[in-house]
Amino acid sequence: MNFILEDLEKNLWEWRGVLIAVPSVIFIVIALRFTGLLQSLELTALDQLFLVRPQERIDNRIVIVEINEEDINNQKVWPISNAVMTKFLKNIKQQQPRAIGLDICGNWPVNTRQTELVNLFESMRNLIGIEKVLENMDSSLVHASPILKKLQQVGGNDLPLDGDGKIYRGMLYLYLNENDYIESLSLKLALLYLKAEGITEKAATTNPKYLQLGRRVVPMFKNNDGG
């Protein structure tokens, strides 16, 4: 018994540096992480992981119709005119998509000269416009189309910037205050698409504060989730 104790003491003495250093380093790293001093390194590492990950296949269920610089030069006006807006929305509508996201800033005021566009907006119940509701250093408020707002066909388009000026996260809900919120553009479009699959949003059975879509539960972010 004495021999075992002596051997144990000898091993502890030999490894004393490791036994002291390892917990100390772990404590220091955890402390640095909670102060946010490691965030820039974490975000840089995350960027590299995104660069080396396998290329994802293009999802053929999603079609992006862009308006680029060439289009603006051809039209010689920005934002695009109501006539052009009406024409391309009609063309998209003919393809019978489940959901259409109109990611263009503009409140599209209602007046008698825009009857055709107004009627089109009112007839396209799968059309979701945007508004920006969170005012900060990087963006200002953008009001939605009054027509789409009245029809509750508007989603928030605010995206949070991280410390390095890049976007890593998208929000499902944008809170205007403690009790008032709107759904994001991406969530509204997803819900329109999933509705045809018989999937609707509901409070999760595990936690009523979480979102549940079918069998998938989407928990809320906590203060120290992520970098």
Q: How confident is the model at residue 36, as a pLDDT?
A: 72
| pTM recorded for the entire structure | 0.77
Asked whether residue 14 falls in the same domain as residue 111, the answer is no
**Range in 39-48, 105-114, 128-137, 145-154 with the lowest mean pLDDT:** 105-114
Long-range CB contacts (within 8 A, 24+) of 113-120: 113/82, 114/82, 116/82, 116/86, 117/82, 117/85, 117/86, 118/147, 120/86, 120/89, 120/90, 120/93
Asked whether residue 130 falls in the same domain as residue 73, the answer is yes
Number of domains in the chain: 2
**Residue 18, in any domain of the structure:** yes
Return the higher-pLDDT residue of 23 and 216.
Answer: 216
Looking at mean pLDDT, say which of 8-12, 87-91, 113-117 comes out highest: 87-91
**Range in 47-51, 162-166, 173-177, 187-191 with the lowest mean pLDDT:** 162-166
- The domain in which residue 189 lies consists of 69-218
Q: How confident is the model at residue 73, as a pLDDT?
A: 87
**Residue 227, in any domain of the structure:** no
**Range in 39-53, 131-145, 177-191 with the lowest mean pLDDT:** 131-145
**Range in 43-47, 194-198, 222-226 with the lowest mean pLDDT:** 222-226
Q: Say how many C-beta atoms besides its own lie within 10 A of residue 92's C-beta.
A: 16
Judge whether residue 85 has pLDDT over 80. yes
**Residue 144, in any domain of the structure:** yes
CA 131 to chain centre: 14
- Mean local confidence (pLDDT), 29-55: 83
Asked whether residue 33 falls in the same domain as residue 110, the answer is no
Asked whether residue 146 falls in the same domain as residue 195, the answer is yes
- If phi > 0 it is left, if psi is from -120 to 50 it is alpha, else beta; for residue 165 that is left
